[in-house]
Chain A
């Protein structure tokens, strides 16, 4: 550890970047306190004659000659019970504490503890005197919220014999729980709290290949473009196409144990909305408020830009910590473009040579390093956990060829491209089924076969193929109209319409449709394809499409999503009967 008493003298200031004279002995990425107000900053560049610091707060009123104090440690997050249901800024300062001190506005230089150090947690100790503990071992557990048990972990850098341990009871996060004798004979007392630098991935034992889907309850995602637990996905889209809405839906309904929601450079009102909604909405699995499993990191667009850059890493480190306890964590990063722009802004202030569109040349490597921290892992303590990352991308002008989208595409395996024209027609979720893809399909196919139905992947492929056929038929329709198409192609169009409106469109404000279990998704596909099969045999018997459309069966199938409650899947049999009836009727009438 570097010592924390070093100080430097400010030389120059340019927005969030400040320069110090000479080399006061700070280390790279060390957290520093700037000026009389002790604004938080981080060392981002060192040369013999100057030190570069990015400041996480507004730098108005800073003067040359003022001092910068070192902290001796890199920018870190505090890991202990109290993280869940909380809302932090980009460098893990709790916004509720800031509000208590400063009122409605965020003042500068506010010094607050990241977590409540006074609260006593009812702790159950899980080790005894004489045990030899390996790094990352679970030493105790605490009921952090109604939904989540927080496992207290030994820091990944420490191991040794337990010399002494406290009884079960109520402890603060800074109270010593046990004393450890390390290999070199030194003793170290261990508390619930540990610090971890945000830019360093937490170590794990082993990485597993993707094998289980992250079930979101969103039909187009689960069925067409599934994401694996421990996987990465990008949601690019111009403004108004529903990036945030998609992320909210996944945060609400996905089967992850923990959600870390990072609002990076986005709207203040949106964070307020998440906070309000999540404290009222009930998690269908646990019966507790969704906020019990959620942590929010809010660095809205008007908060200082350097903290925006850090917010993604803070969130990621919190996620890795919960993964180490054996939980499945999903990160919503909204939006990674704002993070990339923060990089660009800082890079510009540092007068670095720009690459594409002013973004620094290291954009790609930073993005890849970020997404690679996702994964399904075996933790040091033997448990299994995962971190999945769902990153929103806000491409400039809605143009997917810009650098952030393109570089993101290289490092994620799931691409959910949002489409402006679908959004304009209020087709939500506005995910374009032709441009989106998931590389996890083959990895996850065995899971779907075992856990849902052996026909699942087959049906899914038929649905996709119908949609693809529709899109090529639409090229013709645009030129000469639909009337001249042969009847079997008209049927394709009609069924594709049923798929689009009845299956792909999903109403986030409808109590049943907002989250749909996999089984219902499967049954819906089954019924639609059954309708297609029966209609096709009618067409092949020479019945024109106009006669088929006289029946209301197509509309009935479209409204299955509303008419069949999620817990009444038995109703699906009725629909099959109706299709049979429809078949018989058409045959009888036109015999």
Chain B
């Protein structure tokens, strides 16, 4: 006995107000019919006695105060989940748009998810080999981690994410069941298409579920897109035991959609107009990565966000960095030197790295080599700054060595061919070769025994040092 309510009392941007409601609950989903034909979905975001504020997912175009019929569904947003979701394409609110019909499943899950109990989590320790030196060597990705890519407009974050997907999923243990959930929020058509093609080319399409909200799709819809995608991911990982890699792009659009709704609701803004609950909302998404003790699957997240004006202190990257377990930062200067992937090494970090590398995981010297490379590369910055004042010729011999080290490091360690899939051993060996350019006394982060075992002074030739292979 569904009651239909006719008409609305106001429409403001993506929000509508409906009065005279009975038995509506907070966060409930409503179905709206406009002019008897067009159907939209909405969510109740505030209730005041019999008056509800509803956020309409598909936008309020075409809606008038008198032509809308609203029906309560009695439950929050739910989607049917099934293994058959892999290989399919959905819109931003989880409806199939590939013409292959509905997902039929008895299991429907609330997209809001529930917080994982910290004591049932398992601390992530299994490293994922991505074949990219700057990631494997210095900011190692761990299964169950959330490691965002902080990028800027025009930087190759999409290529990098695609490369990670290709090389990580087809790694040594491809016998394990894996899946990719791709959620696009407010991205350009070309970007969505690039990912689709990449998945096809690498033959993983039937392991991918795509949730697409394009740049010209309704703004409110993209607020729900990552939740829908993560609900599917959690089901596949924790109920079906699969290793799921989730790519969320672009988190900036998600946060901006939230600001848009908040401002039409007349809420008090905090920083740069974003609502005070931006942190909680982002956390509710990012914290859905992880491993549950006693279950085989895992959810690993690679959110991509474009930093407005390349500003890492902007609220979106800032709050993200406080929640995620590290970040990979891309750098415009490296990109303009045609170095791919242009990973800015110093601000990049993987918090879970320390427990997933070293003896028994990668190689015993991994942590020390990574620390030493970070520390030496930090000194390169000082040498560069000095050189720009007094000129390269005036530098002391040791500063010159650092300058050379920096160049080789950027070109041969950070930089690599987009199809180059390096093993972790190769990455570490390149690291040692680079460290060999510096005198042994400069290496203060490495255990003496490891230095004895691995350190060999490198011959620096005119063309640079790593050309010999």
Determine how close the nearest CB of chain A comes to the CB of B355; give it in whole angstroms. 8
Determine how close the nearest CB of chain B comes to the CB of A183; give it in whole angstroms. 45
Is B386 within 8 A of A481, CB to CB? yes
Assuming A15-B277, A338-B279, A344-B276, is B26 touching A302 (CB within 8 A)? no
Is B76 within 8 A of A301, CB to CB? no
Is B396 within 8 A of A60, CB to CB? no
Is A267 within 8 A of B325, CB to CB? yes
Is B378 within 8 A of A425, CB to CB? yes
Assuming A60-B25, A63-B25, A276-B123, is B118 touching A12 (CB within 8 A)? no
Contact stretch, chosen from B43-51, B98-106, B242-250, B421-429? B43-51
CB-CB under 8 A from A107, the residues of chain B are 114
Is B76 within 8 A of A61, CB to CB? yes
B326 interface residue per 8 A CB criterion: yes
Assuming A240-B349, A481-B390, is B276 touching A341 (CB within 8 A)? yes
Of the candidates B279, B290, B367, B445, the one whose C-beta lies within 8 Å of that of A269 is: B290
Is B120 within 8 A of A104, CB to CB? yes
Tell me the chain B residues, 63-90 only, with Cβ under 8 Å from chain A: 75-76
Assuming A58-B112, A62-B25, A394-B322, is B277 touching A509 (CB within 8 A)? no
Of the candidates A12, A301, A341, the one whose C-beta lies within 8 Å of that of B287 is: A301
Contact stretch, chosen from B4-12, B171-179, B264-272, B331-339? B264-272
B363 interface residue per 8 A CB criterion: no
CB-CB under 8 A from B469, the residues of chain A are none
B203 interface residue per 8 A CB criterion: no
User: B351-362 interface mask toward A, CB cutoff 8 Å, 1 = contact, 0 = none?
Assistant: 110110000000
Closest to A497 in B: B444
Determine how close the nearest CB of chain B comes to the CB of A123; give it in whole angstroms. 28
B24 interface residue per 8 A CB criterion: yes
Interface residues on B, range: 35 or more
Is A302 within 8 A of B283, CB to CB? yes
A303 interface residue per 8 A CB criterion: yes
CA gap between A99 and B46 in the complex, in Å: 31
Is A60 within 8 A of B112, CB to CB? yes
Is B290 within 8 A of A268, CB to CB? yes
CB-CB under 8 A from B201, the residues of chain A are none
Assuming A273-B123, A398-B313, is B280 touching A426 (CB within 8 A)? no
Is A104 within 8 A of B117, CB to CB? yes
Determine how close the nearest CB of chain B comes to the CB of A407; give it in whole angstroms. 16
Contact stretch, chosen from A320-328, A351-359, A576-584? A351-359
Assuming A60-B26, A300-B118, A398-B313, is B321 touching A501 (CB within 8 A)? no
CA gap between A347 and B290 in the complex, in Å: 32
A564 interface residue per 8 A CB criterion: no
Is A62 within 8 A of B119, CB to CB? no
CA gap between A105 and B352 in the complex, in Å: 22
Is A425 within 8 A of B375, CB to CB? yes
CB-CB under 8 A from B49, the residues of chain A are 11-12, 64
B275 interface residue per 8 A CB criterion: yes
Is A12 within 8 A of B47, CB to CB? yes
Is B123 within 8 A of A272, CB to CB? yes
Is B119 within 8 A of A348, CB to CB? no
CB-CB under 8 A from A552, the residues of chain B are 441
Tell me the chain B residues, 103-130 only, with Cβ under 8 Å from chain A: 110, 112-124
B207 interface residue per 8 A CB criterion: no
Determine how close the nearest CB of chain B comes to the CB of A424; give it in whole angstroms. 4
Closest to B294 in A: A104
CA gap between A552 and B448 in the complex, in Å: 14
Closest to A308 in B: B280
B168 interface residue per 8 A CB criterion: no
Determine how close the nearest CB of chain A comes to the CB of B452; give it in whole angstroms. 14
Of the candidates A273, A300, A425, A558, the one whose C-beta lies within 8 Å of that of B115 is: A300
CA gap between A399 and B313 in the complex, in Å: 9
Assuming A99-B119, A301-B287, A302-B287, is B354 touching A358 (CB within 8 A)? no
User: A298-319 interface mask toward B, CB cutoff 8 Å, 1 = contact, 0 = none?
Assistant: 1011110100000000000000
A574 interface residue per 8 A CB criterion: no
Tell me the chain B residues, 360-403 only, with Cβ under 8 Å from chain A: 367, 371, 374-375, 378-379, 382, 385-386, 389-390, 394-396, 399
Of the candidates B50, B116, B270, B326, the one whose C-beta lies within 8 Å of that of A357 is: B270
CA gap between A102 and B115 in the complex, in Å: 11
CA gap between A478 and B118 in the complex, in Å: 48
A106 interface residue per 8 A CB criterion: yes
Of the candidates A103, A106, A347, A358, the one whose C-beta lies within 8 Å of that of B269 is: A358
Determine how close the nearest CB of chain B comes to the CB of A8; give it in whole angstroms. 14
CA gap between A272 and B351 in the complex, in Å: 14
Is B50 within 8 A of A64, CB to CB? yes
CB-CB under 8 A from B110, the residues of chain A are 60
Is B28 within 8 A of A302, CB to CB? no
Tell me the chain B residues, 17-65 only, with Cβ under 8 Å from chain A: 23-28, 46-50
Is A87 within 8 A of B118, CB to CB? yes
CB-CB under 8 A from A87, the residues of chain B are 118-119
Determine how close the nearest CB of chain A comes to the CB of B457; give it in whole angstroms. 17
Determine how close the nearest CB of chain B comes to the CB of A180; give it in whole angstroms. 38
Assuming A63-B24, A269-B290, is B280 touching A345 (CB within 8 A)? yes
Is A396 within 8 A of B318, CB to CB? yes
Determine how close the nearest CB of chain B comes to the CB of A129; give it in whole angstroms. 44
B416 interface residue per 8 A CB criterion: no
Is A509 within 8 A of B354, CB to CB? yes
Of the candidates B23, B120, B352, the one whose C-beta lies within 8 Å of that of A99 is: B120
Determine how close the nearest CB of chain A comes to the CB of B278; give it in whole angstroms. 9
B450 interface residue per 8 A CB criterion: no
Closest to B47 in A: A13
Assuming A12-B47, A348-B276, A481-B395, is B117 touching A98 (CB within 8 A)? yes
Closest to B351 in A: A240
Closest to A62 in B: B26
CB-CB under 8 A from A103, the residues of chain B are 120
Is B117 within 8 A of A11, CB to CB? no
CA gap between A427 and B375 in the complex, in Å: 8
CB-CB under 8 A from B275, the residues of chain A are 348
Tell me the chain A residues, 402-436 only, with Cβ under 8 Å from chain B: 420-421, 424-427
CB-CB under 8 A from A99, the residues of chain B are 117, 119-120
Determine how close the nearest CB of chain A comes to the CB of B39; give it in whole angstroms. 23
Is A240 within 8 A of B313, CB to CB? no
A-B contact list, 23 entries, CB within 8 Å: A12-B48, A19-B48, A58-B112, A59-B26, A60-B112, A62-B25, A63-B26, A64-B47, A87-B119, A105-B113, A105-B117, A240-B327, A240-B351, A269-B144, A271-B121, A272-B119, A273-B123, A300-B115, A302-B287, A348-B270, A354-B270, A396-B319, A399-B313
B contact set with A: CB distance below 8 Å: 23-28, 46-50, 75-76, 110, 112-124, 144, 238, 267-271, 275-277, 279-280, 283-284, 286-288, 290, 292-293, 295, 312-315, 318-319, 321-323, 325-327, 346-347, 349, 351-352, 354-355, 367, 371, 374-375, 378-379, 382, 385-386, 389-390, 394-396, 399, 441, 444-445, 447-448
A contact set with B: CB distance below 8 Å: 11-15, 19, 58-65, 87, 95-96, 98-99, 102-107, 238-240, 263, 265, 267-269, 271-273, 275-276, 298, 300-303, 305, 338, 341, 344-345, 347-348, 351, 354, 357-359, 394, 396-399, 420-421, 424-427, 477-483, 501, 509, 552, 555, 558-559, 562
Known contacts A60-B28, A398-B313; 17 additional CB pairs below 8 A are A12-B48, A95-B118, A105-B114, A238-B318, A268-B118, A273-B355, A302-B286, A303-B115, A348-B267, A354-B268, A359-B270, A396-B313, A396-B319, A426-B375, A478-B382, A479-B390, A555-B441
The 8 closest A-B pairs by CB, nearest first: A397-B313, A301-B283, A358-B270, A425-B378, A60-B27, A302-B287, A239-B321, A105-B114
